Chain A
Amino acid sequence: MSSGQNERREMTGAEMVVQALKDNGVKHVFGYPGGAVLPIYDEIFQQDEVEHILVRHEQGAGHAAEGYARSTGKAGVMLVTSGPGATNAVTPLQDALMDSIPLVCLTGQVPTSLIGSDAFQECDTIGITRPCTKHNWLVKDVNELAAIIHEAFHVATTGRPGPVVVDIPKDVQFAKGIYVPPQTAPRTSYRPKVQGDLEKIKAAVELMANAKRPILYTGGGVINSGPEASHLLRELVDLTGFPITSTLMGLGAYPASGKNWMGMLGMHGTYEANMAMHDCDVMVCIGARFDDRITGRLTAFSPNSKKIHIDIDPSSINKNVHTDVPIIGDVGRVLEDLVRLWRATAKADKKALHPWWEQIAKWRARDSLAYKMNHEVIMPQYAVQRLYALTKDMDTYITTEVGQHQMWAAQHYHFEKPNRWMTSGGLGTMGYGLPAALGVQIAHPDALVIDIAGDASVQMTMQEMSAAVQHEAPIKIFILNNQYMGMVRQWQQLLHGNRLSHSYTEAMPDFVKLAEAYGGHGIRCEKPDELDDAIKEMISVKKPVIFDCRVATLANCFPMIPSGKAHNEMLLPDEATDEAVANAIDAKGRELV
C-alpha cells in the first residue's frame, strides 16, 4: 500500500488508475497496449507493485482475468485499448456476466473532444458493453475517475459478482485532478441483500426436516460466496444426511469423495442425480439458477417436489421454475442461519431417509458414466480418468474449453475443493480454457494448472501459448484430440440425420511442432498403454506443454437428456445404440424451435 492512501492528492488520470488498482489490492493486470491507453501503460512501466501480464489478444486477457478471479475469489483485472481492444473484450465480459465472475475491465477511449466523430479506433464502448456488464462507466472528468474505479471494484465483487467496464478517454488520462481513496459509503441505489429472511429460513428447515426424499442441488453461487459457504455446505450435508448434486459451475463445493455425492446433474449429468431430482419431494437449490441445461423439459421438471431456492439475485427466483420457499441472500450467510436453526430445532431422522438412499443406490448401480474400454485407441473418458489418477494428489487446478471434452472432464475428474475448476458454463465459450489456465497459473505459480481441451476449441485462443511462454507460466494443455468438433457432431447425429456439416477439421496443425514453435514442450500419445508415462512427462516438464492426446474419434458423450425430454428419460451409454441415438428426439421435438 502506498503511504498516501488516505490523502487526497493531485495526480494525472493515468497515475490515478494505477493508484486505484493498488488501493483495491490488485497485484496482476492482464492486458494489451494501444494508442488510447498509452498514458496508463507509461505509469505501469514506472512502478512494480502491479504486475502487467501481456497477452496476445484482448479476449485472452479477459479469460485469463476470469481464471484468475475464479481461482482466487478476487476480482480479475484487464486493461485494453479503445475500439478493437474493447470489442475484443466483449466475449469474456459476457462470459463473466453469465457465470457471475468479478471482472474489472479498463478500456481506453479517444479524447472526449473526439467522441462521436468516428475517430481512429473509436467505438461506442459503453453502448456495446452495456448489455454484457453488470454496470459500466464513461469517465468524462478526471476528478471522478478514482471514485468510479473504486465503485467499479465494489460493484464487480459484491452481490452477485459480475463484469464491469470503466471507459477512460485519453485526455482524462493526461489531465490532473484530485485522487480520492476508496470510500466506504457506496451509492444508495446499489445495496445487495445478503442476509436471508429468517422466517423463510425457518420454513425451509421445517420442509427439510419432514422430507422423505430430499435433494440438495447446488451451483456456482456456493463457490462465489467464498470458502466459508463450501464449509457450511459440507456441514449441512453431514447434519441432514441429504444426497447432494451440483451444476457444472458448482463442482468442488462439496467433495466428490463425500459419501452423499451423486455427481453432476443436468444434460450430461449422472443418472442417479437426474433421477433423484425428478423423484424428490423437497429440493433445496443453493446458488444455482435452474438453467435450461439443468432442468430438461420444464413441464416435467421435478413434478412432485417442494422447492427451496437460495440466491442472492432476486431475478433468479421464479425465473424458470416456481419456488415454494424463496430465500434471497448470500449463500454463506443463509447457510449459516440454516445450519444454526437446523441444529437448534430439527433432528435429522436419517433412518427415514433409508428407502430414499436405497432407491438412489439402485440408480447408481446403473453406472451411467461407464464406457467400453479399448486397448487399441485411447477412450477420452479413460484419458481424463488417468489424468485424474496421476494428478489428484497434487496442488491441481483444472480449466476446460467447451464441448465433449468439457463434459468428460466434469464427469471423470473429481474435485475436492472449491475454486479448483474453471469452465465456461453459461456462455459456453470455446477458447476459454487456455487463457484461463494462464490466469490461474499467474495467481498460483507453483500449482499444476491443466487445461483439458478439445482440438477445435483450443485453436480459438492458441496464441496465448506465446503469453504463457513469455511469463514462464508452465500451463499444461491436455487436448483430447478426436479431429471433430465433437459436441457439434453429436448434435448433428441426434438432430440432423448424421449430416456432419463442417464439424470435421480436415487440416489439423501438428500440435507437438506447434508447442515447440512457441517455445513450449510438445507430447503426442496414441496408445492407452503409453498414456501414464506421457502424462508423467507432461507433469515433470517445467514449461508450457501441449499434450496431443489422440482419442477415439467417434466417441460420444453420455449419459444425456435429449432435447424435449425430462430427467427420467435419459439416454444411457449402454442403451445409446446408433438407432437409439437417431430416434432419441421424437416428433414432439419438431414443435420446438
Chain B
Amino acid sequence: MNAQLQPTGSAYFIAKETEKPENHTLSVLVDNEPGVLARVIGLFSGRGYNIESLTVSETEHEKHLSRITIVTRGTPHVLEQIKHQLERIVPVHRVVDLTVRSHELGQERPLERELALVKVAGTGEARVEALRLADAFRASVIDANTEHFIFEITGKGSKLDQFIAIMKPLGLVEICRTGVAAMNRGPQGM
C-alpha cells in the first residue's frame, strides 16, 4: 500500500442543507405519567432539534392528559421529522403542527400567548414612568411596596420582549416567563 498524502475523508456522507429554517409551534397531547416530558426533551436533544420555548401542564385531569406546547426551529424537512419522531413515543396521543394547521386554515399563524412576571425596583421619576408604561402595555401590578413593582403581563412574545426592553433602564430586577401557550383559531379542537 502506498503511504502517500491523502485527503481526510469520512465514513459518512453529509449533504449541505439548502432549505431555510422556520419557527413552528407544535402541540403534543401526552399521557401525564412520570418521565413523559423527559422522553420529549430527550428526543429533541438526542436528535439535535431546537427548543425555542416549551410549556407543559396537565389539561384533562380525569383522562391524565397533558398538553405540551413546543416552539421549535428547523427546515420543513426537519419539522416533518420532528412530528413523526414525537408520534413514535408510546405515551404520545397526538402531535399537531399548529403553524402548518393555521396555514391550512388560511391564517398566518396560530394564536400564541405568553405570560411574564416582571420585577422592577426604583423610586422617583423612574418608578412613575414604569407604572405609566405598564398601564400602556395593560400589565397589571400584582405586588408592590414603595420601592418595587411586580407586573404581570400577557401577550405575544414580541410584546413581552418589548415591555422587558423598556423596563431595563427603569430598574428591571428579574423576569419569569411561562413560555408559549398556543392553539388554532376557529371552532375545531386539535
Contacts and interface: CB of A to CB of B under 8 A. Distances in A.
Interface in B7-47: 7-15, 30-31, 34-35, 38-39, 42, 46
Nearest to A494: B9
Contact of A590 (B1, B9, B80, B89): B9
Interface stretch (A125-133, A367-375, A540-548): A125-133
Given A138-B34, A315-B81, A589 B90 contact: no
A134 interface: yes
A494 B8 CA distance: 9
Nearest to A328: B84
B3 interface: yes
B6 A582 contact: yes
A130 B12 contact: no
Contact of A586 (B2, B7, B84): B7
A376 interface: no
Nearest to A186: B90
A34 B98 CA distance: 49
19 contacts: A130-B38, A131-B42, A189-B30, A189-B90, A190-B91, A313-B88, A315-B81, A315-B87, A318-B80, A495-B10, A497-B5, A564-B9, A582-B1, A582-B2, A589-B8, A589-B9, A590-B7, A590-B9, A593-B10
B88 A592 contact: no
B78 to A, nearest CB: 10
B93 interface: yes
B84 A315 contact: yes
A78 B6 CA distance: 46
A498 B1 CA distance: 7
A385 to B, nearest CB: 25
A292 B92 CA distance: 29
Given A187-B91, A587-B7, 20 more contacts: A130-B35, A130-B38, A190-B90, A292-B13, A297-B15, A315-B85, A319-B81, A491-B11, A497-B4, A498-B1, A498-B3, A562-B9, A578-B1, A582-B2, A589-B7, A590-B8, A590-B9, A592-B12, A592-B14, A593-B10
A185 to B, nearest CB: 15
Interface in A173-213: 187-190
Contacts of A189: 30-31, 90-93
Interface string B89-104: 1111100000000000
Interface residues of B, number: 35
B77 interface: yes
A183 B38 CA distance: 27
Interface string A313-333: 111011100000000000000
Interface string A491-505: 101111111000000
Nearest to A295: B13
B31 A579 contact: no
B85 A592 contact: no
A315 B7 CA distance: 35
A585 B14 CA distance: 14
Contacts of A586: 7
Counting contact residues on chain A (CB < 8 A from B), the size range is 35 or more
Contact of A135 (B42, B46, B90, B93): B90
Interface of B: 1-15, 30-31, 34-35, 38-39, 42, 46, 77, 80-81, 84-85, 87-93
A299 interface: yes
A295 to B, nearest CB: 7
Nearest to A317: B84
Contacts of B5: 497
Contact of B6 (A127, A495, A564, A593): A495
A568 interface: no
Contact of B9 (A134, A318, A563, A581): A563
Given A292-B13, A318-B80, A589-B8, A155 B38 contact: no
B96 to A, nearest CB: 14
A585 B42 contact: no
Interface in A347-387: none
B13 A564 contact: yes
Most interface-central of A292, A317, A319, A497 (chain B CB within 10 A)? A497
Contacts of A298: 13, 15
Given A314-B87, A315-B87, A592 B10 contact: yes
A497 B13 contact: no
Contacts of B7: 585-587, 589-590
A570 B85 CA distance: 34
A435 interface: no
Q: Which of B1, B2, B38 has the most CB of A within 10 A?
A: B1
B6 A583 contact: yes
A592 B10 CA distance: 6
B47 to A, nearest CB: 9
Nearest to B35: A126
Contact of B2 (A131, A135, A188, A578): A578
